[in-house]
Structure 1
């Protein structure tokens, strides 16, 4: 809630900030335009009118009837109370004039627009530290951390002590974990090949990632900077693990788990960039495996090409079609061959995923160019996610007035 000088209560709704930031403030220069925007605030219940107090308008009490004349002090008090009531009555009448109402509408609307602009574009930035060095040879000073980008105008984000401690703990923890896993690979390769700690860690991470709701990591605005940095470090480690081969590196099972975990992260982030990166890593890992096989002097029975789980790839392709609302049968020319162990070649999986991306892109272009789908086609089950205002229960989600994150709902059927 925002304090206001007049008898209204301002309750800015955060999910309307984008709409108000797009409004033209020049419209408030006209009385009609300001009134329309103010009515919009009333409609969205961002401005709630309050009953004005009437205590100030109550006239002064007359002294009791007495035979003797009142004292001068009582007369002064009576006159002061009468003047006070007259002043409040004049103030009340002035606030009801068209000029005052128009000015009030302009001020409230401008306050709402500026609040939306501040929250959307400027709230996450702070001023530069006064003690920061400007002659260090870089635009953002010497003390800036490598993970924080330089902002326009020479400004940088200021971190608190708690943020620095959390980032330091996370960074050192990830570095320690990666070092232990690499050390375990080198140890198991020479002493205990049957006991690989890294495979257990990667399998546990994959199971945790699978249990998350779809697209849990898609909204990067909700992820702090240290979280994005951790995702980048984990992805870089998994890429190096997937393409590494030879003595002292991960075994084929470890590379397979790393590829599957990297693919799961790409699906959770919901961006084409990460899916294409996985295709690139998968092809590089397949080529590295082929090079190792050709240069290896051991028997072919002990060597095997790069593989990945068939069910993982098949489920990924199915989810991509499902989330996009794809209707119909797949037209992929790449056929995944499943072996007795439930695995498929990594090169085939990468090409199948890339072909599926191209097919879905073509489907999106075709669906956007037509106004309606062709009649007579059977529609698959479509999952509906809702978010936003639920003040009138229009989203059929119980008593929640506002849903900040997308939530899977069962209240809609036959959605297209």
Structure 2
């Protein structure tokens, strides 16, 4: 029997997996770090201490040593009981040392971190057949230990036949569309320059994307896996089209439309990652266009440089300020210049977009520091999101016990 300090029941809670997966296991190398993480488990009630019986610590009874009984046998039994009791006493005292407690803390914390990593990143790839698990459990009659709690879903989700058919149709359809677009560009470049149908397709896609509400693709949790895969394939095709040059690639109008469509997708997804990717693609396209123009006709290099729509870039910068809550006049050292065709150079557009990102980041930091210094100041609009435990109705969200994702609430709309 293990003493009370290390005799515990492990009850891992699934909604803490994300926080434990982000913990650094190197902290357990030090006794203080392991103790802090172990106290976190105790606070979250993922580790429950159990009381243990103390029968082993009760000393043996002293025999009567009556004359008619076998005195030597009683002595041997009494000595064995004393040795057994001393062994358990030594074991208890040993487990109460700081070394043993620190080792126990490290083992439990590492077990929790590894379980969180397994559940979050690896367990979704495991497919467990319900029939096999049920049969094996019925035959063996064993109960899973408390250190390995059951997952809420039991087994990973298996794609149905309908999902597979939809994914196959979408993938093959996109591959066919991309092949037709590339074939049309090659045909128009070699035979009929006026028979370019791809540019109309890209222009239609850009107009449809512009008609969507702002940040329609920002919440990836509501987009199915097939949709995310389609977005990745479309973005990859647009990147390759934007930097393509020569007889086998798109014409200048097609490259411009591909860049504008890629920028529209980045704005709808509302992530810094995609905006920076567009800046990188724009600079690469500008370099590729300049190189191909210089190699073909150096005299026309200044007139045929790659560009993007001035109105598109201007509208993008305006939307970035609007969505981020920026108030006031924009302070930009880079000024967009529009040519006779209504375009601006790619390098200049990329620099303006990158500078706007830096300005908005500085504005966000200043706003956060101002709010922290003056918490009593009034704000125009306050939106409060709640999540976590609602067992005592402290979140004012009805009868829900747990709110796993942040939810916009109206109960704290007047918060300051």
TM-score, structure 1 length as denominator?
0.57
Post-superposition shift, 1:327? 1.2
**Cα distance 1:51–1:401, how it changes in 2: closer, same or farther (>3 A)?**
farther
Q: Which residue of 2 aligns with 1:157?
A: 157
1:380-391 correspondence to structure 2 within 5 Å: none
In 2, are the aligned partners of 1:241 and 1:250 still within 8 Å (CA)?
yes
**Cα distance 1:224–1:189, how it changes in 2: closer, same or farther (>3 A)?**
same
Between the aligned partners of 1:84 and 1:334, the Cα distance in structure 2 is 84
Query: In terms of mean alpha carbon deviation, does 230-239 or 63-72 score higher?
Result: 63-72
Between the aligned partners of 1:318 and 1:303, the Cα distance in structure 2 is 28
**Cα distance 1:96–1:407, how it changes in 2: closer, same or farther (>3 A)?**
same
Query: In terms of mean alpha carbon deviation, does 373-382 or 52-61 score higher?
Result: 52-61
Between the aligned partners of 2:203 and 2:147, the Cα distance in structure 1 is 29
Post-superposition shift, 1:258? 0.2
In 1, are the aligned partners of 2:216 and 2:268 still within 8 Å (CA)?
yes
Query: In terms of mean alpha carbon deviation, does 163-172 or 31-40 score higher?
Result: 31-40
In 2, are the aligned partners of 1:293 and 1:305 still within 8 Å (CA)?
yes
Q: Which residue of 1 aligns with 2:60?
A: 60
In 2, are the aligned partners of 1:218 and 1:271 still within 8 Å (CA)?
yes
Query: In terms of mean alpha carbon deviation, does 50-59 or 105-114 score higher?
Result: 50-59
**Cα distance 1:110–1:295, how it changes in 2: closer, same or farther (>3 A)?**
closer
**Cα distance 1:259–1:398, how it changes in 2: closer, same or farther (>3 A)?**
farther
Query: In terms of mean alpha carbon deviation, does 402-411 or 285-294 score higher?
Result: 402-411
Between the aligned partners of 1:345 and 1:300, the Cα distance in structure 2 is 15
Query: In terms of mean alpha carbon deviation, does 46-55 or 353-362 score higher?
Result: 46-55
Aligned residues: 416
Post-superposition shift, 1:342? 1.4
In the alignment, structure 2 segments of 5+ residues that lack a partner are: none
Secondary structure in 1 matching 2:403: strand
**Cα distance 1:41–1:286, how it changes in 2: closer, same or farther (>3 A)?**
closer
Secondary structure in 1 matching 2:284: helix
Between the aligned partners of 2:314 and 2:296, the Cα distance in structure 1 is 31
In 1, are the aligned partners of 2:239 and 2:281 still within 8 Å (CA)?
yes
Post-superposition shift, 1:253? 0.6
Deviations 1:224-243 (CA, angstroms, capped at 9, x unpaired): 11111110000000000000
Post-superposition shift, 1:371? 2.0
Deviations 1:217-271 (CA, angstroms, capped at 9, x unpaired): 1111111111111100000000000000111211111000000000000011111
Post-superposition shift, 1:208? 0.6
Post-superposition shift, 1:150? 20
Post-superposition shift, 1:144? 29
Which aligned runs of 4 or more in structure 1 are off by greater than 4 angstroms?
1-126, 129-157, 372-416
Secondary structure in 2 matching 1:100: helix
Q: Which residue of 2 aligns with 1:173?
A: 173
**Cα distance 1:179–1:61, how it changes in 2: closer, same or farther (>3 A)?**
farther
In 2, are the aligned partners of 1:386 and 1:407 still within 8 Å (CA)?
yes
Post-superposition shift, 1:128? 3.5
In 1, are the aligned partners of 2:167 and 2:226 still within 8 Å (CA)?
yes
Post-superposition shift, 1:159? 1.2
Secondary structure in 2 matching 1:325: coil
Query: In terms of mean alpha carbon deviation, does 17-26 or 103-112 score higher?
Result: 103-112
Post-superposition shift, 1:5? 37
Deviations 1:151-170 (CA, angstroms, capped at 9, x unpaired): 99998652111111111100
**Cα distance 1:157–1:50, how it changes in 2: closer, same or farther (>3 A)?**
closer
Post-superposition shift, 1:14? 16
RMSD (CA atoms):
13.1
TM-score, structure 2 length as denominator?
0.57
Secondary structure in 1 matching 2:386: strand
Post-superposition shift, 1:340? 2.0
Q: Which residue of 1 aligns with 2:281?
A: 281
Post-superposition shift, 1:366? 1.0
Deviations 1:264-310 (CA, angstroms, capped at 9, x unpaired): 00011111000000000000000001101111137518961110001
**Cα distance 1:69–1:21, how it changes in 2: closer, same or farther (>3 A)?**
same
Between the aligned partners of 1:144 and 1:356, the Cα distance in structure 2 is 55
